[in-house]
Amino acid sequence: MTAHTDTIEEFEQTEETGRLKLDVLRKTFGSGDSAVHAVDGISLDINPGEFVTLLGPSGCGKTTTLRMVAGFEDATSGRVELDGVNLVDQPPNKRPMAMVFQSYALFPHLSVRDNIAYGLKLKKLPAEEIKEQVDLALTSMNLNALADRAPNQLSGGQQQRVALARAMVMRPKVLLFDEPLSNLDAKLRVRMRQEIRRLQHRLGITSLYVTHDQAEAMSLSDRIVVMNAGKIEQAASPDEIYRRPASEFVADFIGRANFLSAEVLHKAGDSATVKVLEREFTIPAHPDVEVGRPALVLVRPESVRLEKVAANGSTNNVVGDHGQVLAAVFYGENVEYEVETEHGTIVVIESDPDPAQIHEEGSEVRVDFNSERSWLLPSQG
């Protein structure tokens, strides 16, 4: 897919982008004992031009939240504010927003050009202005050669680009995405998320994106909002979500995680001295960690190193444990191990492995990891 950076500047957002605020937003289905709190009083501020992703397992409330923002679902209570104006009682067509759907939602009887122009025609813009805006959108999304085709003559990736162009041509203050890439194959998903991020950066449109795909959330977002059971578990940058998760749930949901039980001996500032793997060392700690309370050390698989048992000692600030390789799976760019230790099974990922140095299944190894790359969390039991 060719990027047309020489023309996209002309398509930049000209109006002030929107500041979106969700204030104690709730959605309850049913009543009484059978009531289901799909969204349970969430509050969130999204800055103008920010790209925020709602991420979580099925049933966590992320899609319901998006639909309340769009106006497709009535809120039980709370506010949806855009630039200080409460839109909660406004229908979807009165909200200066556009949505890109999972199913593309293209009109099958209209050409690519007419699909993109549809919203502009509803706004009763002059024909010349509509043509100019549609031509620019076609060029920006590399769709000129497909302008006269029907949706059923396009691939999934091409249909998604048409849906994206149709949304962006409306110059919305807020752009909403409802799992737009889930129907595409893996390689095309990567290309499309790069295109979405490039365009969003260029246009500066405030964006709210829903997905269950962690890689999408990490690669697209300025901030990720992890949801669970209708509530927000954490809202932070991708790096903070991954390296400093706010809870055991977030740590386990984002990426791969190893958890080691630890005894907290001392807490000082943003670190704690703990006993784990029969040794004492200092680890960066969550603010809620307390002396005498159960805690877990989070270690990401790529932060773990394996050495042959014959290797002597380890570097400063490194803890070690002996184990046996249960599984070694070679993926080309990395090799993934499962190592059984006295303290449980540890997952290890080594990047760019030397095939001659891969540890065989059944071999004895020493597991090392740097305590400064770990994170201490209060245990949720």
SS (H, E, C) 220-241: HCCEEEEEECCEEEEEECHHHH
- Going by C-alpha positions, the residue among 371, 139, 133 that lies closest to residue 272 is 371
Q: How far apart are CA 266 and CA 135, in angstroms?
A: 64
Q: Cα(354)–Cα(372) distance, rounded to whole angstroms?
A: 26
Cβ atoms 143, 163 nearer than 8 A: no
pLDDT at 8: 38
191's CB contacts (< 8 A; 6+ apart) are 1, 157
Cα dihedral sign, 319-325-327-331: positive
Grade residue 60 by pLDDT with cuts at 50, 70 and 90.
very high
Phi, psi of 302 (to 5 degrees): -75, -10
Q: What's the average model confidence in pLDDT over 147-154? A: 92
pLDDT band for position 310 (50/70/90)? low
State residue 184's pLDDT score: 80
CA–CA gap between residue 242 and residue 374 (Å, rounded): 11
10 confidence band (pLDDT: 50, 70, 90):
very low
What mean pLDDT, rounded, does the chain reach? 88
Is the pLDDT score of 6 beyond 70?
no
Residue 276 CA to residue 261 CA, distance in Å, equals 7
| Rounded mean pLDDT, 7-14 | 42
CA distance 73 to 221: 24
pLDDT at 31 over 70: yes
Mean pLDDT of 150-169: 88
User: In the block, which residue shows the tokens 């104690």?
Assistant: 24
| Averaged pLDDT for residues 112-123 | 91
**pLDDT tier for residue 123 given thresholds of 50, 70 and 90:** confident
Does the pLDDT at position 49 exceed 60?
Answer: yes
Q: In what order do the strands lie in the sheet with 344-351?
A: 304-308, 364-370, 318-330, 334-341, 344-351
> b or e along 226-249 (b: 16 or more beta carbons within 10 Å of the residue's beta carbon)?
bbbebebbbbbebeebbbbbbbbb
Q: Under a CB-based contact definition with an 8 Å cutoff, are residues 263 and 274 in contact?
A: yes
Nearest to 97 by CA among 209, 249, 199: 209
Helix (H, G, I), strand (E, B) or coil at 266: strand
pLDDT digits (tens, 9 = 90+) for 181-232: 887 888 888 888 888 888 888 888 999 999 999 999 999 999 999 999 999 9
Q: Report the alpha-carbon distance of residue 108 to residue 247 in Å, rounded.
A: 45
Q: DSSP letter at 350? A: E
Q: Which domains does the chain have, with CATH numbers?
A: 5-243 (3.40.50.300), 256-378 (2.40.50.140)
pLDDT score, position 16: 57
Strands 97-100 and 51-55: unpaired
pLDDT in tens, 225-267: 999 999 999 999 999 999 999 999 999 999 899 999 999 999 9
Residue 371 has pLDDT above 90, yes or no: no
Q: What is the CA radius of gyration of the chain?
A: 25
Does residue 157 have a pLDDT over 70?
yes
Distance CA 324, CA 281 (A): 24
Q: Look up the pTM and report it.
A: 0.86
Q: What is the dihedral of CA 61, 65, 68, 72, to 10 degrees?
A: -60
- String of DSSP letters for 33-77: GG-EEEEEEEEEEE-TT-EEEEE-STTSSHHHHHHHHHTSS--SE
Task: Please report the DSSP string for 145-210 in residue order.
Answer: GGTT--GGGS-HHHHHHHHHHHHHTT--SEEEEESTTTTS-HHHHHHHHHHHHHHHHHHT-EEEEE
pLDDT tens digits for 272-281?
A: 999 887 788 8
**Helices 156-168 + 186-203 axis angle, to 10:** 10
Neighbour-count burial for 315-340, b at 16+ CB within 10 Å, e otherwise: eeeebbbebebeebeeeeeebbbbbe
> Residue 5: pLDDT band by 50, 70, 90 thresholds?
very low
296: number of Cβ within 10 Å: 23
